Amino acid sequence: MFRSIMSNDNSQAIEEYSFKIQKSNEGLVLLTDAMLMQIKLSHIASGLDEEPRTETRESNASLTTITGYTEWFSGTSIRISIGWDWYLGVVDGKCTFKRINPPRSNVMLVDSSGNQMGRKKSNMSLIRKIDECQWQNRVRECIN
């Protein structure tokens, strides 16, 4: 059994996993899809991107798009890092955070034989992991 300590809100929780995390020669963390889905992620940082102001000629109003970034990590002995960009849009009259661009991560998915599955398949699993962690509320707290 693999054990890991994660600090969360000044308390420590011990995470137990029935698998061992391995690293490639390139420094990537090698995980199966099932392993990735079991690992808990903690928020590190979120912020707003700076955007140059552009004024419209007719009204001297500024056009803007609110975008930002967020970074998360695991409490495992070999740290997993996942980051992605987002924008603030409006859906049904409500402000909503939407993930954009592929995630940035040190995770590489492997099959049951340990063969690397490539960046595209890894990103597809990372996106599923991201979408399940309800990151939008944490980002909202950080930028307010």
Q: For the chain, which residues make up each domain, given as ranges?
A: 23-143
Q: What is the dihedral of CA 79, 85, 89, 92, to 10 degrees?
A: -40
Predicted local confidence at residue 54, as pLDDT: 59
Class of domain 23-143: alpha beta
Whether pTM exceeds 0.85? no
CA distance 65 to 98: 12
pLDDT for position 124: 97
Dihedrals phi, psi of 20, to nearest 5 degrees: -105, 135
- What are the mean pLDDT values of the chain's consecutive 10-residue runs (144 residues total)? 34 57 94 95 93 62 82 90 94 91 97 95 97 92 88
